Each structure stands twice: as C-alpha cells, then as structure tokens.
C-alpha cells in the first residue's frame, strides 16, 4: 500500500428527513446568506426548491438565486453567477442539483474572491487560494461532486471542457435524501451509475498492483451498484436501491476507493484516461451526457490497454464477475487469460447496455470524421503521452476512439 493523504471534510446528512434539516445545518455551519444555484427546472417542477427555501426561512438563512445551470455547465454561466454572488454579498453557495450544478456552484465559490477571470483556474491550473464555503442538496447520484475535490467546467467558445482539483472546494455539507431521486429519468439514473463505476475503475486500474483493503471497497461498491441499478429501473421508488446508489456515488469519488493506490501521496489515485477521452466528447458535443459517454469509452479503453497489466484485469474479473481463467491442459495460459479478461469487459459493457446506455459513438450520431478535432483539444488538455495504466499517445487515442464505432 502506498502512502496517502485522505481528506473528506464533508458532513453528510443522509436519509428520509435530510431535506428538512437543510436550513438548520447551514445555520449551524455558519452560513448567513447563500447563493442558491440550481439547474434547468427539475427542482422547480418537483417542488424541492420551495421546500429548501422554507427550511432556510425557518432557520434565518437568507438567499439570492442563480438558476439555469445546464448539464456540462458553460463558463459564461459561471461568470454571471459570480457577479450575482458579489452584488448580493453572499457568504456561501448552496447547490441544489447534480454534478453540473455543484460544479457550477464550486466555480462560482472560488471565482468570487478572485480578481481575474475564473477560467484562469482551468487553463492555467493556478492554485485556488480562497473559496466561499459550499453546501449541496444532491438530486442526482452520479458525478460524486458532493464530496469530490474536482470541478469540471466547459467553455463552448473554445470547445474545451476542463477540470481543476483542490480540497479547498470540497463541500462542507451534503444533504442527501434518496427520495428526491425517484423523479430521475431512466437515462440519467443509468448514466449516473455508469459514471460511478468509471470513477471506481479509474482508480482501480491505476497500475499500482493490489491494495486489498481499497480493492475490496472498490469492487464491493461495483457489485452493490450492479445489484441495485436494475431494481430502480424496474421500480423507480425502490428506496433501498436508490439509497444504495446515492451513497455508492459518493464513495466512488470521495477518494476512499483510491487510498494507497496513488504514486504520489498527495495526488488523487488513477490515470483518468477514460475521463480524459470522454471529456473531449462532451466538450465538443455538450448534448452528450458524461456517463453515457463513459459507457462507450471505458470498455474500449479497457480492451486497448489490458495487456499492460493482465493480473489487474484478472483480479477485476474474479472479484466483480466471478470469472476465472480456465485451467485446462489443452488451453494455453495466455489464451485463457485473454478469454477471461475479454469476458469480464464484455460483461461490463453488457451491463451498461442493459441499463439503456449506448455502445458505440455512432449511437451519438458521430462518425469517424469527428475524431480529429477531439485529438487536438485532448492533446492541449492532457499533453502527450497521458495516462498511468498505459501511457497513451494521440495515435493510441485515435485508435481507441475509432474502435468505438
């Protein structure tokens, strides 16, 4: 097990009564006036926004509003929210939504005290030294942003989608009531589960070898998700299955599933290759849902790189799917390993498809001619080569993208 630093400072209030505690928890945490950040209407339609406001009123927490953050949020929206937060002199930000809303809220929170343009933090990766406190009411389990050190923002004008990382903007408080996820469209539920599994796999396949305590958390989370996901597709108000998915999404990305795997103790574990490849897809095509993109990208990446460390993939095949290489005299060992690894990747992809996720880039209406522009921005974002499990050149990336048709 490698050395690590694990920082998860978020207070989680989880369960059926969680929403009602929002105002009191914010007041107790010292929030006096918050900017309410939300998306494109689901929290208005469900009545959740009004419920949250009522708890704020009751607790004496005042607020201003910034609604309309879109999926794969654009930096132009963040700039406007920063202006609003300054004008209204809020002392904190409350996100009511999923990864897009939370990331828009995070960027607003560290954009307010900064004199320059908030996009600087994404392109120049300069350290974020000040940030308003952030709280979250989570409405879709997926990105894990309610506890993660990441913030991902798009810039449509440049066809870029970039992330920045820092413990300084991990939320102080996350209010999590699985019942608010009953209204999620099937596609978003499925994309969320896919994203969680990707967050776990990015860390698991990070080329460090076995770390049993962390590996068991990782594969245990995947097994729990694979059991719960079909249940909520069948019955959207299955509370226990929704709760399993919601909490798994947090643990998939608060770094507990990567402890001891990082080569640099203070860095997040993982090479994040599938995320790098997906982020270019949703940067150039903002209509692509991040998790749906990953359902196509991750199996293709796995098929391309598994030979760099077959044992790692055999461990995954065994612990997640119970697949072992056949031990028979007439089957050469190499062939048995390849069969087992391929069977595990096939199973994973079949699971994503069973949830209604796409399997090819053509399912998004893309053609091979769309690949070159992705490589240009990928190189600018990640450099060349990039990744950890296997270093990838742009030619590798091209081959992986082309294998997705």
* Chain positions contacting ligand NZQ, by CB under 6 A: 39-43, 71-72, 97-101, 103, 139-140, 142-145, 148, 150-152, 180-181, 183-184, 188, 192, 195, 253, 275, 290-291
Q: Pick from Zn ion, ligand NZQ, none: which does 103 bind, CB < 5 to 8 A by kind?
A: ligand NZQ
Closer of 294 and 361 to ligand NZQ (Cβ) = 294
C-alpha closest to that of 219 among 142, 131, 322, 111: 322
Residue 240: partners with Cβ closer than 8 Å, 6 or more residues away: 228
Helix/strand/coil for 144: coil
Closer of 188 and 349 to ligand NZQ (Cβ) = 188
Helix/strand/coil for 267: coil
Q: Please report the DSSP string for 150-185 in residue order.
A: EEEEEEGGGTEEEEEE-GGGS-SEEEE-GGGGGG--
**Interatomic CA distance for residues 299 and 308, integer angstroms:** 15
**Interatomic CA distance for residues 276 and 171, integer angstroms:** 24
In the complex, least distance from residue 321 CB atom to ligand NZQ, rounded to whole angstroms: 24
Q: Pick from Zn ion, ligand NZQ, none: which does 206 bind, CB < 5 to 8 A by kind?
A: none
Residue 359: partners with Cβ closer than 8 Å, 6 or more residues away: 295, 296, 349, 352, 353
Closer of 31 and 364 to Zn ion (Cβ) = 364
In the complex, least distance from residue 186 CB atom to ligand NZQ, rounded to whole angstroms: 11
Closer of 77 and 321 to ligand NZQ (Cβ) = 77
* Pair of tokens at residue 396: 């590798």
Q: Pick from ligand NZQ, Zn ion, none: which does 152 bind, CB < 5 to 8 A by kind?
A: ligand NZQ
C-alpha closest to that of 360 among 321, 401, 322: 401
**Interatomic CA distance for residues 62 and 60, integer angstroms:** 6
**Interatomic CA distance for residues 16 and 18, integer angstroms:** 6
Closer of 294 and 397 to ligand NZQ (Cβ) = 294
What x/- string results for residues 179 through 208 when contact with Zn ion is judged by CB under 5 A? ----------------x-------------
In the complex, least distance from residue 291 CB atom to ligand NZQ, rounded to whole angstroms: 6
Q: Residue 316 in contact with residue 204, Cβ under 8 Å?
A: yes
In the complex, least distance from residue 184 CB atom to Zn ion, rounded to whole angstroms: 17
Residues in contact with Zn ion, total (CB under 5 A)?
Answer: 1
Residue number of the CB atom closest to Zn ion: 195
In the complex, least distance from residue 191 CB atom to ligand NZQ, rounded to whole angstroms: 6
In the complex, least distance from residue 198 CB atom to ligand NZQ, rounded to whole angstroms: 7
- Residue 34: its H or E element: strand 33-38
Site residues for Zn ion per CB under 5 A = 195
């Amino acid at each position: 097990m490698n050395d690590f630093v694990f920082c998860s400072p978020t207070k989680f209030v989880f369960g059926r009564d969680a929403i009602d505690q929002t105002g009191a928890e914010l007041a107790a945490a010292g929030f006096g006036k918050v900017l309410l950040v939300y998306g494109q209407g689901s929290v208005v339609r469900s009545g959740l926004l009004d419920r949250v406001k009522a708890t704020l009123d009751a607790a004496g927490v005042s607020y201003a509003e910034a609604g309309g953050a879109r999926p794969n949020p654009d930096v132009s929206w963040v700039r406007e929210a920063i202006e609003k937060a300054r004008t209204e002199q809020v002392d904190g930000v409350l996100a009511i939504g999923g990864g897009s809303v939370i990331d828009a809220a995070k960027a607003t929170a560290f954009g307010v005290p900064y004199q320059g343009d908030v996009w600087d933090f994404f392109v120049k990766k300069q350290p974020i030294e000040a940030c308003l406190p952030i709280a979250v009411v989570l409405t879709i389990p997926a990105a894990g942003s309610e506890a993660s050190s990441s913030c991902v923002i798009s810039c449509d004008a440049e066809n870029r989608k970039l992330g920045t990382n820092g413990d300084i903007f991990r939320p102080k408080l996350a209010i999590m009531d699985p019942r608010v996820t009953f209204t999620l469209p099937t596609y978003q539920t499925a994309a969320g589960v896919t994203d969680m599994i990707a967050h776990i796999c990015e860390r698991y396949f990070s080329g460090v070898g076995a770390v049993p305590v962390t590996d068991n958390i990782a594969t245990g989370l995947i097994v729990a998700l694979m059991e719960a996901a079909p249940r909520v597709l069948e019955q959207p108000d299955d509370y226990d299955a929704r709760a399993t998915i919601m909490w798994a999404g947090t643990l998939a990305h608060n770094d507990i599933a990567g402890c001891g795997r990082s080569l640099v103790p203070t860095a997040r574990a993982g090479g994040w290759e599938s995320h790098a490849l997906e982020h270019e897809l949703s940067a150039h095509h903002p209509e692509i849902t991040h998790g749906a993109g990953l359902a196509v990208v991750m199996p293709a990446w796995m098929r391309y790189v598994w030979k760099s460390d077959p044992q790692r993939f055999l461990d995954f095949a065994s612990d997640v799917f119970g697949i072992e290489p056949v031990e028979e005299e007439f089957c050469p060992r190499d062939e048995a390993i390849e069969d087992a690894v391929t069977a595990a990747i096939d199973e994973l992809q079949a699971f994503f498809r069973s949830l209604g996720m796409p399997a090819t880039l053509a399912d998004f209406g893309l053609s091979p001619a769309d690949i070159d522009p992705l490589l240009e921005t990928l190189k600018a974002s990640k450099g060349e080569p990039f990744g950890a499990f296997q270093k990838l050149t742009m030619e590798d990336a091209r081959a992986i993208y082309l294998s997705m048709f």
